[in-house]
Amino acid sequence: MNNSRHVFVTAAGSFAVTIESVIGAIVSGGSAAGAAGTLYDAYKDANSDLAQAASYIDRI
């Protein structure tokens, strides 16, 4: 067996894909997506507040 194939087989054998690991990856991805959505909503709210504050300053 050539060296790169041996390295691949060794690395692939050390990582077992189980249904638990797949479900865990999906749940982690869903949590990250939820956090990203929450962060984006907070950004939009902050941006709106800053625009409103700038509008108030312009009126002065």
Give the residue-averaged pLDDT of 37-43.
Answer: 89
Q: Output the pTM of the full model.
A: 0.52
State the average pLDDT for the chain: 78
Percent of the chain with pLDDT over 70: 68
- pLDDT value of position 35: 83
Name the residue with higher pLDDT: 23 or 11.
Answer: 23
Residue 12 burial by CB count (10 A; 0-12/13-18/19+): exposed, middle or buried? Answer: exposed
Give the residue-averaged pLDDT of 35-56.
Answer: 90
